[in-house]
Amino acid sequence: MFADLCSNPKVLKNTLELGYTRIGYETRTDRKPTKMAEISPPPQDLIEKYQNFHLPSGNPLGSSIKFYSRLTFHYAKGELNQLLTSGNAVLQSYDLIAIEPKDEASFRFACTLAEVDIITFDCSQKTNFAIKTGLVKQAIARGIFFELKYTQGIAGSSCEHLISTGTKLALVTKGKNIIFSGGSDVAHHLRGPHDIINLGVMIGLSTDNARKAVTVNPASAVLHGETRRTAKGAIGVMNTSKMNGEEQKWRIDGYSPNSSSDAMEE
């Protein structure tokens, strides 16, 4: 199944029509979420809103589509440090927590200490801090994923910034733990999964790793979120790259070896 973990209700129909069936609904904030639960959009609300929507195949929207709540922080040095390491109850209510570092100090914190699932980058401009291999390795060891929002590189000089940041990530991660997401509320900026796989190859990923960036890796990020929110999280975290195909699919997203309909990839 293809995933876009940074979507918007304004383009949900378009996202579904492009073939994405695992969708993260993003809430963005620059402040401490003392009352963030009040604005948390339950995924079920989206399902009810689109219950009469039919996929291009003619099948109705149903159990084959899954939605995840996501909270993304814009983060600079010293802000929110305690909040993002305290097991905050409000944060635990979100399926996914993402952080967008603004400087080297916040990137270091995100990689080494923050209780998050995704580190995302602003690819509409040049990254103003070094993406250091040592920090990236620590983040990967903690099960954190790195996100590139491809729509930020659709036009003008932003494309150069997206390719530059993506190429650096592909190099320092050795192709691991990268996620591609949309991150736009403009429908014509969105692209289908196979176009995004081609983008992954363009920045230096193998075809297999590029495909994982819109399939297995997003699913693993969701699994990381589940373990973060539960008392058994310390036991439940696993490195999916070391599993064989069937074991990997079974562990992620409730896959049953006897049912091909739940496989993570099409």
Terminal Cα distance for the chain, rounded: 6
Degrees to nearest 5, angle at CA 51 with 58 and 257: 65
Predicted structure pTM score: 0.81
Q: What is the pLDDT of residues 245-264, one digit of tens each?
A: 544 443 444 433 333 333 34
* CA gap 185, 18 in Å, rounded: 15
Domain residue extents for the chain = 72-262
Average pLDDT estimate for 100-119: 92
* CA gap 256, 247 in Å, rounded: 10
Q: Which CATH architecture has domain 72-262?
A: Alpha-Beta Barrel (3.20)
Beta strands across the sheet bearing 96-101: 2-7, 20-29, 66-75, 96-101, 118-120, 145-149, 178-181
Higher pLDDT pick, 21 / 44? 21
* CA gap 12, 4 in Å, rounded: 10
Percent over 70 (pLDDT), the chain: 68
- What would the two tokens of residue 121 be? 């980058």
Q: What is the DSSP letter of 175?
A: T
Q: What is the pLDDT of residues 113-168, one digit of tens each?
A: 999 999 999 888 888 899 999 999 999 999 999 999 999 887 666 788 899 999 99
* CA gap 255, 9 in Å, rounded: 27
Mean pLDDT of the chain, nearest integer:
80
pLDDT of 156: 60
Q: What is the pLDDT of residues 51-79, one digit of tens each?
A: 666 666 666 666 678 889 898 988 766 65
pLDDT of 230: 82
Give strand pairing partners of 74: 100
* CA gap 74, 207 in Å, rounded: 31
Helix (H) or strand (E) holding 7: strand 2-7
* CA gap 166, 203 in Å, rounded: 6
pLDDT of 44: 65
- Inter-axis angle of helices 133-141 and 158-173, nearest 10: 70
